[in-house]
Protein backbone atom coordinates (compact mmCIF):
# COMPACT_ATOMS: atom_id res chain seq x y z
CA UNK A 1 0.00 0.00 0.00
CA UNK A 2 1.40 3.38 -0.94
CA UNK A 3 0.17 6.87 -0.30
CA UNK A 4 0.89 9.36 -3.04
CA UNK A 5 0.37 13.09 -3.21
CA UNK A 6 0.68 14.69 -6.64
CA UNK A 7 2.15 18.18 -6.84
CA UNK A 8 0.29 20.76 -8.88
CA UNK A 9 2.32 23.38 -10.78
CA UNK A 10 3.38 26.15 -8.43
CA UNK A 11 2.37 24.25 -5.27
CA UNK A 12 4.64 24.68 -2.26
CA UNK A 13 6.30 21.86 -0.36
CA UNK A 14 4.46 22.91 2.82
CA UNK A 15 1.08 22.42 1.19
CA UNK A 16 2.18 19.01 -0.10
CA UNK A 17 3.22 17.98 3.40
CA UNK A 18 -0.17 19.13 4.74
CA UNK A 19 -1.95 17.16 2.00
CA UNK A 20 0.12 14.07 2.78
CA UNK A 21 -0.54 14.32 6.53
CA UNK A 22 -4.28 14.75 5.91
CA UNK A 23 -4.33 11.73 3.59
CA UNK A 24 -2.40 9.55 6.05
CA UNK A 25 -4.78 10.63 8.84
CA UNK A 26 -7.90 9.88 6.77
CA UNK A 27 -6.62 6.45 5.75
CA UNK A 28 -5.86 5.57 9.37
CA UNK A 29 -2.30 4.49 8.67
CA UNK A 30 -0.83 5.80 11.92
CA UNK A 31 -3.58 4.18 13.99
CA UNK A 32 -2.91 0.87 12.25
CA UNK A 33 0.82 1.12 12.96
CA UNK A 34 0.19 1.86 16.63
CA UNK A 35 -2.27 -1.04 16.84
CA UNK A 36 0.25 -3.47 15.33
CA UNK A 37 3.18 -2.18 17.37
CA UNK A 38 2.68 -4.82 20.08
CA UNK A 39 1.07 -8.21 19.67
CA UNK A 40 -2.02 -8.70 21.78
CA UNK A 41 -3.40 -12.17 22.30
CA UNK A 42 -7.00 -12.58 21.11
CA UNK A 43 -8.21 -13.33 24.64
CA UNK A 44 -6.61 -10.11 25.94
CA UNK A 45 -8.05 -8.17 23.01
CA UNK A 46 -11.55 -9.45 23.88
CA UNK A 47 -11.04 -8.61 27.54
CA UNK A 48 -9.96 -5.06 26.66
CA UNK A 49 -12.99 -4.67 24.41
CA UNK A 50 -15.34 -5.81 27.19
CA UNK A 51 -13.63 -3.51 29.69
CA UNK A 52 -14.02 -0.56 27.31
CA UNK A 53 -17.71 -1.36 26.83
CA UNK A 54 -18.23 -1.46 30.61
CA UNK A 55 -16.41 1.84 31.02
CA UNK A 56 -18.56 3.48 28.33
CA UNK A 57 -21.74 2.07 29.88
CA UNK A 58 -20.84 3.44 33.31
CA UNK A 59 -19.94 6.81 31.83
CA UNK A 60 -23.29 7.01 29.99
CA UNK A 61 -25.16 5.92 33.09
CA UNK A 62 -23.70 8.67 35.29
CA UNK A 63 -23.82 11.46 32.70
Over residues 9-62, the pLDDT tens digits come to 999 999 999 999 999 999 999 999 998 999 999 999 999 999 999 999 999 988
Which residues touch 3 (CB under 8 Å, ≥6 apart)?
20, 23, 24, 27, 29
Q: What are phi and psi of 12, to 5 degrees?
A: -80, 160
Would you state the pLDDT for residue 3?
Answer: 86
Would you state the pLDDT for residue 10?
Answer: 94
Q: Assess whether pLDDT exceeds 80 at residue 1.
A: no
Would you state the pLDDT for residue 54?
Answer: 96
Q: Tell me which of 52 and 3 has the higher pLDDT.
A: 52
Domain coordinates in residue numbering, the chain = 13-62
Amino acid sequence: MSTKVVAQPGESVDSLIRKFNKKVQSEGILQEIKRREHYLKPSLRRAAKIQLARKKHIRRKTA
